[in-house]
Amino acid sequence: MFIKQIPFLKAERLVSRSAFNVLLTLVISVTIASCGTNDDNNSSTNFDRSELLNNYADNIAIPAYEEYVSSTNNLLTAVHEFALSPEDNNKLLTCIEHLKIVSLKWQLASLFDFGPASDYALLEFTNSYPTSTDDIESSIGDESWIAGQASNIDNVGLPALDYLLNEEGAMDKLNANPERVEHLVKQVEFLNEQGELVLETWKSSYHANFVSMTGTEMGSSIGAMLNAFNRVFEANIRKQKLGLPSGVSTFSGNPLPSHVEAKYANYWSIDLLYEALLSIEKIYMGNSSSSNFIDMEGVGFDDYLISLGDEAFGQGLNNDIVAQIQSSKEAVLSLNDPLSEFVLTNQETCIYVYTELQALVVLFKVDMMSSLGVLITYQDNDGD
Amino acid sequence: MIDSAPLITLRRLFGALVVFSTLRFISYDWIDCQILDPLVTFPFEGFEWLPRPNRGGAYTLFAGMLIGGVSIMTGKMYKAGCLVFFLCFTYVELLDKSNYLNHYYFVSLLSFLLCFMPANKPGFKIHSYLLLTCKLLIVMVYFFAGLAKLNGDWLLHAQPLTLWLPQHSDFPLLGQLFQYRETAYAFSWFGALFDLMTPFALFSNRARKYFYPLLVGFHIVTWMLFPIGIFPWIMIACTTVFFSATSHRIFWNYFKKFNLDLPEAIINPADLKSYKKVLVVVFLAIQFIFPLRHLMYSGNYLWHEAGYRFGWRVMLIEKSGWANFFVVHSKGNKQEVDLSAWLTKNQEKMVSTQPDMIVQFAHHLSDYWRDSLDQDIEVHAEVWVSLNGRRSQLFVDPNIDLSSINNTWAQREYVVPMDSVILPSQFYSLDND
C-alpha cells in the first residue's frame, strides 16, 4: 500500500514549488526594499547589543558590586574594632563614616536588582525602611536570631545599622550593653556576606549568562536590566526617597518625616538621593568610573537610542532624557538636609522635585521602553 | 450537498489545538496568575455578574475545557462536548479584559459555530452553507486584520514593525536585514497585502494550493517573531477547511486509523429549515458589522481604542504607558495609589494603556474607599502613553473624576485626543505655575 503514493509525491512537489515561491517573494521584496534608499544612512539600526551587555557587566555592574563589597568589608573591620573597645567614641565615629560610604556605594549597586541580586533578595534585605526598631530591640541578645529570614526584612540592612549607630544615645547604649554590640556585628556580617554572595555569583556564573542573552524579550538581559532600572527608579528612588516623606501617598497629604532614608543619621538623605540620580545617569549613559574619578564613556542605553536614528523616538528622546536628568539633578540640589525637617518646612519644593523625577520616570518607562522595542509580556499577546 | 470531510478535519485539528492550548495554559500556571491571584478583575461590560471562580471552580472550568476539547477532537459526544468547551472557555475569557486576545475570541466563535455543525462522523453529506459559514468566519479574521493595517502608522511609518524587527537581529537568515528601516516597510506592506489577499486566494480553486504554503510560512514567521501563543497554529489548521473533500480524504488516508473513506455511509441530511438560514445570516452579519464599530468614533482608534477589541487587530500597535492614579479626598488632598498593591503585572500593563480599564479601575478604587473606609473620594489619573514610536503623551484628562464615568458605547471624551499634549516636563511645569 505504500507504493500507491502518487498523490503524496504530487503534493510534495506542490509544497516545494510553493515553498520556493515564498522564498522568492521574500528575497525579492527584501532586495527591492534594501536597494530602495541607500542614501539614507539613518535608517540602519545596527547596534551591537552584546557590546552593551559586556560594558554593563564588566565596567559597571561588577565594579559597582566590588566597590560596594569593599565598603562593607571596611565597615566590618571598623565594627570589629569598635567591638573590642566599645567605650571609644572615635571608633564609633569611624563606623558611622563607613556606614555613610556603604550607603553611597549601595545606590549604584541597587539598580542591578535582577539575577543574583534578586535571587538573594539583596535590595529588600539591604535597604527596607523605615526599619522596625521594636524588632531590632527584641532581637538583641536573642541567641536564636538569624539574619536573612523573610521576617527580618524590616529589621536588617542599612536602616537597622543607621538605627544602631546613629540613634540618640547610641554610644551610651552600645557601651552599656555588650549584646547590643554583638548584634551590631551580626548585622554588619550579614550585610557584608550578602554583598559578597551576589558579587561572587556575578563573577563565577552569572556574568557569562548575562552577556549571552542578547535578545530584548522578557527574561533577556536587556529586558531584565531595564525592568529593574525602571522599577528601582520609580519605587525605590522617586517614591521612597522623596515621595513618601513629602506626603504624596498619605491619606492626609501631610509629610511623613519619619520615612526619610537614613533618618537617624539625619544629615545624608539628600546625598543618597543625589547619588542615586548620578547612578541612574551612569547606567543610562553606560559610563563607568575610572580610577581617577572621571567617568568613562561606554556603550549604554543612550547609544542604543541614538542608533535608532534622527527620530523623535531615537536621538530626540535621548536629548530629552539627558536634559531631564540634568534638571532632576539640579532640582535635587534645591533640597537641604535634614530632609526630615525640610519636608515639613518646604513641602512644595519637595513635591516640585518629585515631579521632576516623575517626568524622568515617564521618559524611561514609557518612551524608552517602547523605542527599544522591549516587549514586556507576562503572557501571550497578539497585539492588544 | 457536499461531503463533510473538510469539516471533520477542522473539528479534529481544532479539538487537538484547544486541548494543547488548555494544557499549555495549565502548565504555565496561568490559572493562578490570571484567574485566582488578581485582587480585582476587569470583566467585560454586561458580564460583571459572572461570579469569579474559586480554585475548585477554576479547576472545574478547565476540566470542562479539556473534556470538551477531547470530545471535539475525537468526535465522541461531540455536540455536548463542544457546547461544554464553548461555555467554559468563554466564561473564563469574559472574566477579565486584561487577558483578552484576538485568537481567544476566535476560539470562542468557532467553538460556538461548531456546536451546530454535523462534524462528528465521517461519510456524511452536509449542506454546503454550513461549510461556507466556517470559511467566512475564518477569512473575516484576515480581511479585517488587513483592513486594520491600512493606516498611516502601518503603511507610511512602518510602525510598530520599525520598533520590533531590529530586536530580532539574531533571527535565522533574515536577522541581519531587520536592522534596516526598509525591511520593516517591506514586512508591513507585505503583511497588509497578505492579509487582504488571503480571503480571495483561499476561495480561489486555482490559487489555493500555491497560496497555502505561503500562509503556513507567514504564520510560522510571525510565531517565531512575536509572543502570540497558538494563534498561528489555529489559523494554519483552520484554513485547511478550504481544500476539497478529496484532498482531505487523501490526507487522512496516510493515517490509517483516521481515514475518512466510508463511502457506503453517505447519508443526505434533512432539508434545511428556513429559520436556520436566517440564524446563519444573522450570525455572519454580526460578525461583519461588529469589527467596524470603531467607525462610530472620531479620533484615532488606535489611541482611544473605542471599538478596538473583537475586531481582529493583530500586532497592530506598540503601546506602552505609565499610570499614576490619585485618590482625591474631600479636603482636596491627593493620595497616590500603589498600583502594584492592586494589580498583577499584566493588569498593570493593560490598565496603563486602555481607557475603559482605567475607568474600571477608578471604580474599583472608589468602591473600596466608599465601602471599606466609608469615604467619598474622587479618582484622578495621570497617564502617559506612547503609541507606535510617538513620544509619550498625556492619555486621559487628569482633572476628571474617572470614577464618575461609566463605560458606554459613547465617545470616550475623557481620553485626551492624540497629539494634543506634549512632553511630561512641559506638563509638569504648567502644573506648577
- Partners of A36 on chain B (C-beta within 8 Å) are 182
pLDDT band at A155 (very low <50, low <70, confident <90, very high): very high
Strands B393-394, B378-387: pairing kind: antiparallel
- How close, in Å, is residue B272 to chain A by CA atoms? 35
pLDDT score for A205: 94
Quick check: A30 pLDDT over 50? no
pLDDT score for B374: 83
Residue A116: strand, helix, or coil: helix
pLDDT score for A150: 86
pLDDT score for B264: 46
Mean pLDDT of A189-207: 97
CA distances (Å), origin A208, targets A122, A127, A204, A254: 21, 28, 8, 48
pLDDT band at A12 (very low <50, low <70, confident <90, very high): very low
- How close, in Å, is residue A271 to chain B by CA atoms? 24
Select from B28, B102, B103, B182 the residue whose CB has the most chain A CBs within 10 Å, as the one to mutate to test that interface.
B182
- Partners of B344 on chain A (C-beta within 8 Å) are 378
Residues of chain B with pLDDT under 50: 264, 430-433
Residue of B nearest to A317 (CA): B391
Omega within 30 of 0 (cis) for the link into A130:
yes
pLDDT score for B334: 82
Work out the burial of residue B221: count CB atoms within 10 Å of its CB; fewer than 13 is exposed, 13-18 middle, 19 or more buried: middle
Quick check: A45 pLDDT over 80? no
pLDDT score for B196: 97
Instruction: List, for residues A82-96, the tens digit of each pLDDT value.
Output: 999 999 999 999 999
pLDDT score for B393: 92
CB-CB under 8 Å, B229 with A382: yes
Instruction: Give CA–CA dist A323/A329, Å, rounded.
Output: 10
CA distances (Å), origin B385, targets A239, A250, B416: 20, 26, 11
CB-CB under 8 Å, A34 with B180: yes
User: What count of other Cβ atoms lies within 10 Å of the Cβ of residue A150?
Assistant: 8
Mean pLDDT of A30-34: 44
CA distances (Å), origin B8, targets A73, A83, B117, B152, B180: 71, 81, 10, 41, 44
- Partners of B254 on chain A (C-beta within 8 Å) are 8
Calculate ∠ Cα B343-B323-B354, nearest 5°: 80
CB-CB under 8 Å, A383 with B316: yes
Quick check: A17 pLDDT over 70? no
Is residue A205 within 8 A of residue A212, CB to CB? The reply is no
pLDDT score for B332: 74
Q: Which of residues 181-210 of B touch A (CB under 8 A)?
A: 181-183, 185-186, 189-190, 209-210
CB-CB under 8 Å, A7 with B250: yes
Instruction: Give CA–CA dist A340/A47, Å, rounded.
Output: 45
Instruction: List, for residues A233-270, the tens digit of each pLDDT value.
Output: 999 999 999 999 998 877 777 899 999 999 999 999 99
CB-CB under 8 Å, A376 with B314: no
**Share of residues in chain A with pLDDT > 70 (%):** 84
Q: How many residue pairs bridge chain A and chain B with CB atoms within 8 Å of each other?
A: 209
Mean pLDDT of A28-36: 44
- Partners of A317 on chain B (C-beta within 8 Å) are 391
Is residue B193 within 8 A of residue B276, CB to CB? The reply is no
Select from B391, B418, B419 the residue whose CB has the most chain A CBs within 10 Å, as the one to mutate to test that interface.
B391
pLDDT score for B249: 86
E strand or H helix that includes residue B385: strand B378-387
Omega within 30 of 0 (cis) for the link into B51:
no
Which pTM value belongs to this model? Answer: 0.87
pLDDT score for B400: 93
User: What count of other Cβ atoms lies within 10 Å of the Cβ of residue A252?
Assistant: 11
